[in-house]
Amino acid sequence: MKTNENHSLRLSKCVLVPYRPKHVLKYHEWMKSEELQELTASEPLTLEQEYEMQKSWSEDDKKCTFIILDGSKLASDFGNEVDTMVGDVNLFFNDVDCSTSAEIEIMVAEADTRGKGIGKEATLAMMQYGIATLGVTIFTAKIGYNNKLSLALFHRLHFKEVSRSEAFQEVTLELVVTESVKSFIGSSLQEYLVSAYSE
């Protein structure tokens, strides 16, 4: 998405940066994992396809993607971004009936980073960015039955189950943006700073 291509989000535990070609190789290595393929309902791509995907997503106004960097390992000058990559967070504007509805996805790929609050913080930050910058009014999340960690996370963020698909073995959760939701997100983020990003 062009909107976020020059934005980074600085948070207390992590930094979110736009998905650039330099991130693709590590992302591609992550997605060779059968566990991550199952958790994200993804099919493995060739490296060439992964580069093509990154390019198309960066230009697609219906997809907003940030790479999650571990703030505790990140040099202040962004010099070691690839080494500190731990996952990604996305918004997809695919609802033909509501242009301000966005599906949110979070992936913490590095196992040793899970359980430290980075996924929660990155999700909250993406929600804040979606509301304040992209005008999101409804968030949805589609999560596989077996993805207990993600289900627990989104329930803690006040998402409510609206449907189940036995065919896809997934639950659809929803959160309507209200003033109380905005207040909850704002109070849950210890730090949130949108700043200019350049390579």
- Domains in the chain, please, with CATH? 2-196 (3.40.630.30)
pLDDT given at position 79? 54
Report the distance separating Cα 14 and Cα 72, nearest Å. Answer: 7
Band (pLDDT 50/70/90 cuts) for residue 23 is: very high
Only one residue has tokens 């980074």, namely 8
124-136 confidence digits (pLDDT tens) = 999 999 999 999 9
CA 15 to chain centre: 12
Report the distance separating Cα 158 and Cα 137, nearest Å. Answer: 15
Answer yes or no: pTM beyond 0.85: yes
Only one residue has tokens 């996924």, namely 119
pLDDT given at position 112? 87
Report the distance separating Cα 71 and Cα 68, nearest Å. Answer: 9
